[in-house]
A and B are shown apart, each in its own frame.
Chain A
Amino acid sequence: MNAMSHTTGGNAYNFGFLDEYAKKEIRRAVLKAIAIPGYQVPYASREMPMGRGFGTGGLQLTLALIGPGEVVKVIDQGSDDSVNAVNLRQFIEMTCPGVSTTTRTAEASLIQSRHRIPERPLTPTQILVLQVPYPDPLVVVEPSEDKRKIMHGEADYSRLLVKLYEDIVQFDEITISHRYPTRINGHYVIDPSPIPRWDVPRLDHAAALTLFGAGREKKIYAVPPHTRAEPLAFSDVPFRVEDFRDAAGRRRACARCGCTDSFLDEFSSDAGEKVYQCSDTDWCDEKLLRKESLRGEAA
């Protein structure tokens, strides 16, 4: 059948999968997002060959920004080898010939991530792309997008703050665990994607550009380098990151590399014991390498 002749195989696709008009539109949205820090720029999100919710927004950003010579790192839950990260990385390799991939944070020029910001501080030459399921922090207090747009425009976040107030009244704590609402450059409040609270302070005055892509909800927003990013809180009830101290108050360490200042994953070993390990696998590997080389020098 002749219809079949112009299909199949990665080679039949344009560099970066998307057609060039789509890439241009995304780049324009990115420029606008950088110019208005924290503002959600609507764009005509394209369907990607993976499910909505699997990072199609982040992937469209990556594919629109990527060029030959780029070094790309893809992580999910902090890990390069998580199924979804592998899937996205393979797709980028297939559709972007000439692009190399890495698992080393330090080597990457473009990092696409879901749910984590790498532990190692990013540099001015790096771009971080975060995958976003829910772009609008106001959705918990206002279902209508039309009304939310006005609230954002007027920086009217009192209903969100009341939620924090009610939390403290009821639980004596702010119960928001991840997706912590964060005010950018003193105006727009963003949903920083489902990163843990641990990662939020790293958006503040970061050296690297952070881009947020919501494919299903069709929005792009940005935290430009050296921009204020302040988690919403009360002056006398400060924002707090996850607490990794044990019952005795000691900071838990990674069971693998011994690190005591990284975000830890908790799980049960086959023997039924609680185990803690670095969520950022590259960070953990690096610490481990350094430890081993130190040991080598000592011996």
Chain B
Amino acid sequence: MNKVLEVRNLSKIYGPGCPHCIESTGPEADTNLCPHCGSVVAIHDVSFDLFEGEILGVMGESGSGKSTVVKALYFDQAPSGGEAIFFDGDTQHELFALNAARQRWLRNHRFGMVYQNPNLGLNFNISAGGNIAERLLMSDLMDYGAIRERAKALLARTEVLLSRVDDLPKHFSGGMQQRVQIAKALATQPPLLFLDEVTTGLDLSVQARILDLILEIQQELKTAMVVVTHDLGVIRLLTGRAIVMKYGRVIETGLTDQILEDPQHAYTQRLVASAL
């Protein structure tokens, strides 16, 4: 199988940092806040690989650093250390060595992101179709008719009523906003998609339909995905492999079935037990 993403020793520290930050934080220390300098060690030493068409789960409670991982990879926040290589056909991109313009190019052309808060992924002051058009325009498609057709096709695929293509997403329900976000993320057919708690806060029936949609897309387009969630149900349904994070560190990694059926780390055991 082709590797899409290789992440090594990713770390992110908020604050000045000091020589004691790493040893004083993490699951053993039971905190991510350095008692010496007050810095927050959001993630440290996170490594994983992602393969074509694969869905990798990143699970953990709030404060575990799981969202920081995807925000760093999608260039929302610069990491403090580590590296990541994106394999795009025959080309390799060392993500954090690229300049801002190249990073923006990758974001617009090759990556997609769906945020928990649709406010972050959508511009609420332009129409649903306009949101998709923006991403297509970023990738240099300059034909109005073609942009319009593609926007409609994407909204149809994500089950948004076509009669609403020219409405503002701020008037949409939460579930529909997430569908528009997914359509926008998929607009350029990216080989890599990041999903950050995309079903959190939605009704159960709405959640189920969105998760189905994500699975269908993965099967149709062979998109590789990193799914960040605290919801074991989402992990179970979507992912083949998963990593478990606590206080910024990876504490367990493996096949999803294995982790859920036979968790090794005490924390994972508690997490799985509490969900049953």
Q: A residues within 8 Å of B by Cβ?
A: 150, 153-154, 156, 158-159, 161-162, 165-166, 168-170, 234-237
A169 contacts B138, C-beta separation under 8 Å: no
Q: Which of B118-144 contact A (CB under 8 A)?
A: 123, 126-127, 129-130, 133-135, 137-138, 142-144
Flag if B138 contacts A156 (CB, 8 Å).
Answer: yes
Asked if A154 contacts B100 (CB within 8 A), the reply is: yes
Residues in chain A near residue B147, CB distance under 8 A = 165, 234
Check if B130 sits within 8 Å of A162, measured CB to CB.
yes
Main secondary structure of the interface of B (DSSP, over half): helix
Q: Closest B residue to A163 by CB, please name it.
A: B126
Q: Can you list 25 A-B contacts (CB < 8 A)? A: A153-B101, A154-B101, A156-B104, A158-B134, A158-B137, A161-B137, A162-B126, A162-B130, A162-B134, A165-B129, A165-B130, A165-B133, A165-B137, A165-B144, A165-B147, A168-B144, A169-B127, A234-B143, A234-B147, A235-B142, A235-B144, A236-B143, A236-B144, A236-B146, A237-B144
Tell whether, in the assembled complex, residue A236 and residue B101 are in contact, meaning their CB atoms are under 8 Å apart.
Answer: no
Docked CA distance A154–B129 (Å): 24
* Nearest-Cβ distance from residue B162 to partner chain A, whole angstroms: 13
**Is B145's CB within 8 Å of the partner chain A?**
yes
Chain A residues with CB under 8 A of B127: 166, 169
Q: Please, which residues of chain B bring their CB within 8 A of the CB of A150?
A: 100
Q: Is the interface of A mostly helix, strand, loop or mixed?
A: helix
Question: Whole-angstrom distance from the CB of B110 to the nearest CB of chain A?
Answer: 16
Interface size for B (C-beta < 8 A) is: 21
Tell me the minimal C-beta distance from A162 to chain B in angstroms: 4
Q: How far is the CA of A166 from the CA of B147 in the complex (A)?
A: 12
A159-B134 contact in complex given A165-B144, A235-B143, C-beta closer than 8 Å = yes
Q: Give every chain A residue within 8 A of B123 (Cβ-Cβ).
A: 159, 162
- CA distance in complex: A237, B100 (Å): 31
